Amino acid sequence: MNKTLSQILQLLLGIVIGVLITLIAVRYRESRHMNRISKVDWAKLNLILGIVQKNYVDTLDYEGMTEAAVDAALSKLDPHSVYLPPVQLTASEEELAGKFDGIGIQFNVPNDTAIVLEVIPGGPSEKVGLMTGDRLLKVDDTVIAGVKFPQDSMVRRLKGPSGTKVTVTVKRGKEEIPFEITRGKIPVHSVDAAFIVQDTVGYMRVAKFSRTTFKECREAVQKLKEEGMKHLVMDLRDNTGGYMDQALLLTNDYLSRGDTIVYMEGLHRAKEVYRADGKGLFQDMGLTVLISENSASASEIFAGAIQDNDRGTLVGRRSFGKGLVQEPFLFTDDSGIRLTVARYYTPSGRCIQKPYTSGGKDYAYDIYNRYADGEVFSADSVRLDTTDVHKTRSGRIVYGGGGIMPDVFVPVDTTRATAFYVACNKKATQMRYASYVFDKHRGTLMGIDSYEAMDGFLGKLNLKVDFPAFASRQDAIPCTEAEWDQTAPYLLPQLKALIARYSKLGENAFYKYYLPVDNTVEQALSRLQ
């Protein structure tokens, strides 16, 4: 009996020991597994940064390391999910907000010295007496003229919080005049130009989709209607987009009730469909939309809705191809990220996002490749994804997967690019000649407020003789008589446009004089005759 009991106790003890050993082994394995990083969480990044913090040989730049880590992580997503440090975020928001803090001037730098092109009415600079044509010499004590001062640095020095002061020294004629300017809120316009281009056809150039775009466009089109416009040419070339809500509002003005404008969908975003409400003011107006390889995002939403609903004609070249929707996430240090949260689709179901690879260079060089491959010169060279087929309301075939192909393709015009014209472009001779003319005729130019007066002024300049002489004298660019005859039909309108913008007519004058040699506008207008 005692022997049997002893055997039973030994057996039970063995079982208990076995169980304990098993539990210890399991716990050991679990412990080892817990020290390994799961692939579905972010602990590995924190672990590595912690190890670096405790063990690295030198003092660490924590802010720089954090921003580098964020940049590297987001680069594995898509080209439009980006981290914006505080300075970049502020600049980006200002560009789209429709206003910024500054002194209220527009300028260009044709010859290493900034020249004021426009003094914004009602702005701080106008109040103290800055004028079109003034040369900017100094900002406070910093010399910015004649020293190859970076243009973006000039802008940063002129901008600043409302209420702060800055002293800007300008050269006007032979005088140097310091102006103390109190910075204020400056409006940023989306509509660069709006005027009647011929008979009952209006032209409107929209530069961006900022907070004020819809309001500006509606006011501009209403004014053109009052002047007799029945057909609008809306120029969205080189418009890289901006606020999506402004694109929706603008599109709504031209579509009928129930027409789809766009819809969006993402893994964490339910499908949202946006339709016209039937309250648009211009539903019956004739419409042509100009696009180019630099028309992107919000521009493509507008263009895609117009094309898919057969509401108007698209003229130009294949658009950029951005079909991703970004949402901002802001942090307490005034930095933030713009994260892609959805794709948008045109009414026919197209996602026009062009292909990209994570962290690849193919996306960044796409526009360059379009030139290299000849796409911008010939419709036959355009690469379309013919497997991604969709149909407009009337049954016309359109393709997704790489921008919006216009209804009428217009190639880049290379026939006028003579050696003389190319040489002048390289040295910005045209811009510097325009400022030279302004210096000679400042009083006359600044008083011109009608196109009749401007035509008369330009007709007296003898540009055919004076400009080639200026190019030879200033930039050592020779021009034969035969070469001038070939170049003049294209170059003269450009010269007139650059000179006319110094008058009270401003940017409207620039586009009005330049458009006759714009082959995309020419094609658009020829289809209306």
What pLDDT does 2 receive? 54
Contacts of 164 (CB under 8 A, 6+ apart): 182, 183
Please report, as a single letter, which amino acid is at residue 413. D
| 26 in a structural domain | no
What pLDDT does 175 receive? 83
Which CATH number goes with the domain that contains 321? 3.90.226.10
336 touches 328 (CB < 8 A): yes
| 49 in a structural domain | yes
Q: Is 322 a catalytic residue?
A: yes
Q: Which residue has the tokens 């300017």?
A: 181
The reply to whether 372 and 510 lie within a common domain is no
468: tokens are 């080639």
Of 81, 292, 297, 299, catalytic? 297
Please report, as a single letter, which amino acid is at residue 375. E
The reply to whether 317 and 182 lie within a common domain is no
How far apart CA 511 and CA 154 sit, in angstroms, is 26
DSSP state of 209: B
The reply to whether 279 and 214 lie within a common domain is yes
How far apart CA 165 and CA 184 sit, in angstroms, is 10
How far apart CA 110 and CA 468 sit, in angstroms, is 18
What pLDDT does 35 receive? 42
60 touches 322 (CB < 8 A): no
Q: Is 256 a catalytic residue?
A: no
The domain in which residue 70 lies consists of: 42-74
Residue 151 half-sphere exposure toward CB, CA atoms < 13 A = 10
Of 308, 366, 407, 518, catalytic? 308
How far apart CA 69 and CA 52 sit, in angstroms, is 13
The reply to whether 342 and 437 lie within a common domain is no
The reply to whether 376 and 433 lie within a common domain is no
The reply to whether 223 and 173 lie within a common domain is no
Which CATH number goes with the domain that contains 170? 2.30.42.10
Question: Which has the closest alpha carbon to 467: 430, 493, 441?
Answer: 430
How far apart CA 155 and CA 482 sit, in angstroms, is 42
The reply to whether 520 and 377 lie within a common domain is no
CA 153 from chain center: how many Å? 20
CA angle 407, 411, 412 (to 5 degrees): 140
The reply to whether 441 and 495 lie within a common domain is yes
| 434 in a structural domain | yes
In tens digits, what is the pLDDT along the chain, a chain of 529 residues?
555 555 544 554 454 445 444 544 445 444 444 444 445 567 888 888 889 899 989 998 888 888 888 888 888 888 888 888 775 655 555 555 555 678 888 777 777 788 887 777 667 887 777 887 888 898 888 888 887 777 777 778 888 888 898 898 988 877 888 888 888 887 778 999 999 999 999 999 999 998 899 999 999 999 999 999 999 999 999 999 988 999 999 999 999 999 999 999 999 999 999 999 999 999 999 999 999 999 999 999 999 999 999 999 999 999 999 999 988 888 887 788 889 999 999 999 999 999 887 656 678 788 888 888 899 999 989 988 889 999 999 999 999 988 999 999 999 988 777 899 989 888 888 988 988 898 899 889 989 999 999 999 999 999 999 999 999 998 899 998 889 999 999 899 999 999 998 898 988 999 999 999 999 999 999 999 7
Contacts of 244 (CB under 8 A, 6+ apart): 209, 297, 298, 301, 325, 344
The reply to whether 253 and 314 lie within a common domain is yes
396 touches 406 (CB < 8 A): no
Q: Which residue has the tokens 């209306």?
A: 528
| 16 in a structural domain | no
| 82 in a structural domain | no
The reply to whether 397 and 426 lie within a common domain is no
Q: Backbone dihedral region of 528: left (phi > 0), alpha (psi from -120 to 50 degrees) or beta?
A: alpha
Q: Is 308 a catalytic residue?
A: yes
| 29 in a structural domain | no
What pLDDT does 233 receive? 98
Of 159, 208, 322, 496, catalytic? 322
The reply to whether 295 and 383 lie within a common domain is yes
The residue out of 152, 187, 222 marking a domain boundary is 187
Contacts of 187 (CB under 8 A, 6+ apart): 98, 99, 120, 212
The reply to whether 146 and 260 lie within a common domain is no
CA 491 from chain center: how many Å? 27
The number of domains in the chain is 4
Count Cβ atoms below 10 Å from residue 524 Cβ, excluding itself.
26
| 90 in a structural domain | no
Helix (H, G, I), strand (E, B) or coil at 417: coil
How far apart CA 252 and CA 384 sit, in angstroms, is 28
Distances (CA, A) of 528 to 306, 312, 397, 513: 17, 12, 23, 20
Count Cβ atoms below 10 Å from residue 326 Cβ, excluding itself.
18
| 81 in a structural domain | no
